Structure 1
Amino acid sequence: MDDTWWRTAVIYQVYPRSFADSDGDGVGDLPGITARLTSLAALGVDAVWLSPFFASPQVDAGYDVSDYCDVDPVFGSLDDLDALLARAHDLGLKVIVDLVPNHTSDQHQWFRAALRDGPGSAARARYHVTDDPPDWQSVFGGPAWTRLPDGQFYLHLYDPAQPDLNWSDAGVRAEFEQILRFWLDRGVDGFRVDVAHGLVKDPRYPPYAGSPLGLLAKRDAPYWDQEAVHDIYRSWRAILDGYTAADPGRPRILCGEANVAVDRAIRYVRPDELHQTFNFPYLQTPWEPVALRRVIEESLAAYGSVGAPSTWVLSNHDVVRHASRFGYPADAQPRMGVGVDDPQPDPVLGLRRARAAVLLMLALPGSAYLYQGEELGLPEHTTMPDDARQDPNWERSGHTERGRDGCRVPLPWLAGVDGLGFTDGVPWLPQPEEFDALARNRQEEESGSTLRLYVGALAFRRSLGLATGVLRWCSEPQSAVLDFASAGIRVTVNLGAAAVPLPDEAEVLLASEPLSAWQLEPDVAVWWRPVGPDPVRSPQA
């Protein structure tokens, strides 16, 4: 077993509420995931990352955890989780689970004890509680501090139902080490760490009236990216390395959701800390050639400087799906959620660019993350009725942010049936009409479908060794065409407004759209192998 599998892995994010429902209650569950794992193995991914399935009041779709060592009944049971792990491992899939260490639910026994035991108690010391709160703002909108009945205030960087833990408390650190061991003993292959940059707060609670959102704001916010957070990850890495050493056939990994700039993110993946961290600058880069080239170059150089692989990602459960995001002008992409009365994306252009974008991403050296449904080309649900929305961000923002429901809509497995094969009941979020045409069973039969493009790209990526390639640019820095060589092939993406010719000597391996007249049309990507006497000539806009 290669204990560095994570350096080149393609990891598929499953959002359990919306993947597959086995019992007809309209909410996805663990048995539903287990029944569909063969589809993920056939897709060609290496691992599955499960968003939270722990016991929770579900105020924030499971990111408000009331018991870290149990499964919420809406998703099943611990036995169901064991069955999922066994089936995934039989299929050669690793399983990474979400860990939410920044905050608990307000229904967690610790927070209940903090309320009961009052000011100055050991229970209250597990959270951030003060008599004189600073003017910090919540990510979901509004103040980040809420008053308790006894007059003190507690911190919640997200919803008031998600009180932030105090990681200077030794009991908090010890408890989470036990939580890691509980799931490692159960057979998981690693953890995705939620809000990895936010666990430690400046204990002085200094004033900060800035926005908690955005990479620049997070450079000086007193609750993001504090130095002491790295000590936590060194202790966790030692635990996981111990499990890997004891069972070399089951190497374990940590991936952090550290939403910081590249020069800060690489500090989380030094050799004795996390194995990976999400590349948010890449995720947030618009469909623009100079900006994309810059973030690719910066990422490869920065992560390489600490001996870590870069990761690449286009969508997740917190952002507008890229098949819709890329349907907007580069300077007008929505940050979070789109409503029926908002400017709407160009769906044809968005999907065309999304297909090209995945060929670009999967050709880059390192590890890639896919978000469930992107292999079907699913768009954001941009016309969801506001009364169907359940994301707390919608209410907390005073109905100024539509929230993340539009990217969390249940998947379409079967065309032409109620629930589109996701459920026999009523889906917990409504599915848009266009999902029927994008259902998985339809795309399995269509030769040019987005699903088939993903299957082909993942197979080529593995057989060609693209994830271990060394990227060499063949296009000029300001070109509208991104063109590079890696692992013996060329990857060319036309982000310009005009078609460009392909070399006569090109052997095309895979293209995001059918090629005509040997031209690369705008917003099309191609993987090709140079043959003949002029193998380095680059298409130019």
Structure 2
Amino acid sequence: MEEVSGSGDESPSGNVSAAGQPWWRREVIYQIFTPTFQDSDGDGIGDLGGILSRIDYLAQLGIGAVWLTPVYPSPLLDAGYDITDFTGVGSCFGDLNTFDRLLAALHERGIRLILDFVPNHTSAQHPWFIESRSSRESAKRDWYVWADPAPGGLPPNNWLSRFGASAWTYDKTTGQSYYHAFLPEQPDLNWRNPDVRAAMHEVMRFWLERGVDGFRIDAAAVLAEDALLRDEPPNPDFDGDTPPPERFRRTRTDAQSVTLDYLAEMRRVADAFPDRVLLGEVDTTPDKLPGFYGDTEPRLHLPLNYRLVDVPWKPHAVGCAVQAFLDALPENAWPDWVLGSHDKPRVASRLGADPARVAAMLLLTLPGTPILYAGDEIGMPNVPVPPSLGRDPFERCVPGYGLGRDPFRVPLRWTLGPNGGFTTGEPWLPTPSLPVGSSVTEQERDPRSMLNLYRRLIELRRRRPELLAGRYRRLSSEGGVLAFARWLERSGVVVALNLSASDVTVPLPGRGRIVLGTGCEREGECAERQVTLAPHEGVIIAQQNS
């Protein structure tokens, strides 16, 4: 290959062969929001049996790991993140036997299973909390965060729940208030108590011994709060357009330094089992990122990186966001990239249908592990959900700010039939009609579909070692174009992405041949020192040896 050169930045993503990488560096991780993927029993809620029935689809997509949102017993006040038993399966999702069958079926196809682990809080119906609130002398009293009310019956301090209002709920039985970062029905565990930590480590071992390949740790940055329960400072950016829960800066409830110790303990639990991975929902700003990876001892393998979700869709902004994340990585850390999630608006609605195809190419060619949200591979848009039919506590508790997440949690569209082939019953969220070509069945037959673009991208990533383990250099991020090179030894590609609505001509560092485009018609085309791209078009060009 001709020497890759350009005006951009260079970052290593690793210098070992692709074959020498652990699985979680090689594979594409696919997040399934369990209630919306596939229902198997007609109750309108996606379940384990439904996922089991779609094993062929997962294998054909080419993903290497599935991350499941919670499937534990739950009142489902917050989509299963309010848990009554950490070592069971909720009846609406199936049972442990079905879980084991799903795990075995995935493993037979070479697909790993990552389970959502929710250590920050329980349901108020969890036996631990029922015992804790029974008496101040309860053996589990200190398993949760209790405090005396302030004079006049006011909350102990000014902390606010993510869902609005005070983060404290007064309990008449014992005359104290308990802390909850989320709903009052989700009391926070007291992670400063070693008995709590030991109990949650046993939960991890239960699933790891069952064969689970790792965990995504929910709310991993908020496990501990200020021990003195001091007030949060005012948010200087708060104004009339800011949602009420952001009235204060969360300096006393987010990213306390002791949380890093707790994550290191979890890592030691996971490391006792070969070939496991820990993902974490944390703050990935440059000053915080090294600590979550492990600046003094190992913590998370993959702190979840949402920069592609939040950055403006402009070449310079995207290129700088990518470089800033890569530059912030500590030595030997591995990057990851998230394009969508159950908490963020759908990429097809954020950017538009054609730009979403370019975003897919970006996701699957950057150095690091791509994490794909189920439904994005068919270009699922946000779907409006009437407030009367909504389920998300954000919409109910903080109305008027557009925080509701139901529009990007509606069930997947498998077919054109009733309820999109998701359920034979009444779906837990409405499934209105979408445009022709929006279902899996239709897209499987269309070689130009978003689904087949994802399949081709995933297959190419698996086949080209430079995309798995190669170096990265940004070549251009101006004039509507983001272009970068990936190479390993003498094998390399240039990825050229047009993020604009105009035709652009992109200079190339050498000669090459297009191996994949966001359309199908250009593959095999020669590129001699430059390539012209249509609006919202992307291509991957294999560089030819000189």
TM-score category by the smaller chain? 0.7 to 0.9
Q: Is 2:135 the partner of 1:135? A: no
Q: Distance in 1 between matches of 2:399 and 2:312?
A: 28
Gapped regions of structure 1 (runs ≥ 5) = 245-250, 327-349, 534-541
* SS across alignment from 2:87: strand
User: Which residue does the alignment assign to 1:316?
Assistant: 341
Judged with a 3 Å threshold, the aligned counterparts in structure 2 of structure 1 residues 48 and 491 are, in CA distance, closer, same or farther, namely same
Q: Is 2:321 the partner of 1:295? A: yes
- 2:495–2:540 Cα contact (<8 Å) kept: yes
Corresponding pairs, count: 498
- Code of the residue aligned with 1:78 in structure 2: it is L
- 1:46–1:94 Cα contact (<8 Å) kept: yes
Q: CA deviation at 1:422?
A: 1.0
User: Which residue does the alignment assign to 1:510?
Assistant: 516
- Code of the residue aligned with 2:497 in structure 1: it is V
Q: Distance in 2 between matches of 1:402 and 1:232?
A: 30
Q: Distance in 1 between matches of 2:507 and 2:212?
A: 47
Q: CA deviation at 1:480?
A: 2.8
Q: Distance in 2 between matches of 1:165 and 1:237?
A: 19
- Code of the residue aligned with 2:256 in structure 1: it is Q
* SS across alignment from 1:474: strand
Q: How much identity, in percent, do the aligned residues show? A: 39
Q: Distance in 1 between matches of 2:505 and 2:86?
A: 56
Q: CA deviation at 1:293?
A: 0.8
Q: Distance in 1 between matches of 2:354 and 2:385?
A: 23
Which of 15, 18, 21 matches 2:39? 21
Q: Is 2:308 the partner of 1:272? A: no
Moved more, 231-240 or 502-511: 502-511
* SS across alignment from 1:55: coil
User: Which residue does the alignment assign to 1:525?
Assistant: 538
Which of 90, 95, 104 matches 2:108? 90
Q: CA deviation at 1:220?
A: 5.4
Q: Distance in 1 between matches of 2:284 and 2:469?
A: 25
Superposed counterparts of 1:187-202, under 5 Å:
187-202=211-226
- Code of the residue aligned with 2:319 in structure 1: it is R
Deviation readout 1:407-450 (Å, 9 max, x if unpaired): 111111122x1121111112111113216631111100001000
Q: Is 2:127 the partner of 1:123? A: no
Which of 252, 263, 266 matches 1:233? 263
- Code of the residue aligned with 1:254 in structure 2: it is L
User: Which residue does the alignment assign to 1:494?
Assistant: 498
- 2:26–2:462 Cα contact (<8 Å) kept: no
Q: CA deviation at 1:399?
A: 4.8
Q: Distance in 2 between matches of 1:210 and 1:123?
A: 34
- Code of the residue aligned with 1:493 in structure 2: it is L
Deviation readout 1:132-177 (Å, 9 max, x if unpaired): 3111111112211111114311111111111111101111001011
Q: Distance in 2 between matches of 1:170 and 1:453?
A: 49
Q: Distance in 2 between matches of 1:219 and 1:253?
A: 31
User: Which residue does the alignment assign to 2:99?
Assistant: 81
- 2:131–2:138 Cα contact (<8 Å) kept: no
Which of 365, 368, 390 matches 1:366? 368
- 1:259–1:280 Cα contact (<8 Å) kept: no
Superposed counterparts of 1:33-432, under 5 Å:
33-117=51-135, 119=136, 121-131=138-148, 132=150, 133-149=156-172, 150-208=174-232, 210=234, 221-244=251-274, 251-270=275-294, 272-303=298-329, 305-326=330-351, 350-381=352-383, 383-415=384-416, 417-432=417-432
Moved more, 131-140 or 508-517: 508-517
Judged with a 3 Å threshold, the aligned counterparts in structure 2 of structure 1 residues 151 and 436 are, in CA distance, closer, same or farther, namely farther
- Code of the residue aligned with 1:137 in structure 2: it is L
* SS across alignment from 1:419: helix
Judged with a 3 Å threshold, the aligned counterparts in structure 2 of structure 1 residues 528 and 299 are, in CA distance, closer, same or farther, namely same
Judged with a 3 Å threshold, the aligned counterparts in structure 2 of structure 1 residues 295 and 217 are, in CA distance, closer, same or farther, namely farther
* SS across alignment from 1:228: helix
Q: Distance in 1 between matches of 2:536 and 2:194?
A: 53
Moved more, 404-413 or 511-520: 511-520
Deviation readout 1:503-525 (Å, 9 max, x if unpaired): 69542111224678963123221
Q: CA deviation at 1:209?
A: 5.2
Judged with a 3 Å threshold, the aligned counterparts in structure 2 of structure 1 residues 9 and 514 are, in CA distance, closer, same or farther, namely closer
Q: CA deviation at 1:502?
A: 5.2
* SS across alignment from 2:161: coil
- Code of the residue aligned with 1:182 in structure 2: it is F
Q: Distance in 1 between matches of 2:116 and 2:250?
A: 27
RMSD: 2.3
Q: Distance in 1 between matches of 2:232 and 2:403?
A: 25
- 1:261–1:280 Cα contact (<8 Å) kept: no
Q: TM-score, normalised by structure 2?
A: 0.87
Q: CA deviation at 1:8?
A: 3.0
- 1:210–1:221 Cα contact (<8 Å) kept: no
Q: Distance in 2 between matches of 1:403 and 1:432?
A: 18
- Code of the residue aligned with 2:127 in structure 1: it is Q
- 2:307–2:338 Cα contact (<8 Å) kept: no
- Code of the residue aligned with 1:224 in structure 2: it is D
Q: Distance in 2 between matches of 1:40 and 1:173?
A: 35
Q: CA deviation at 1:355?
A: 0.7
Q: TM-score, normalised by structure 1?
A: 0.87
- 2:81–2:118 Cα contact (<8 Å) kept: yes
Q: CA deviation at 1:401?
A: 3.8
- 2:232–2:249 Cα contact (<8 Å) kept: no
Judged with a 3 Å threshold, the aligned counterparts in structure 2 of structure 1 residues 309 and 129 are, in CA distance, closer, same or farther, namely same
Judged with a 3 Å threshold, the aligned counterparts in structure 2 of structure 1 residues 279 and 262 are, in CA distance, closer, same or farther, namely farther
Q: Distance in 2 between matches of 1:503 and 1:280?
A: 30
Judged with a 3 Å threshold, the aligned counterparts in structure 2 of structure 1 residues 127 and 235 are, in CA distance, closer, same or farther, namely same
Gapped regions of structure 2 (runs ≥ 5) = 1-18, 151-155, 526-530
- Code of the residue aligned with 2:449 in structure 1: it is S
Q: Distance in 2 between matches of 1:219 and 1:295?
A: 24
- 1:283–1:312 Cα contact (<8 Å) kept: no
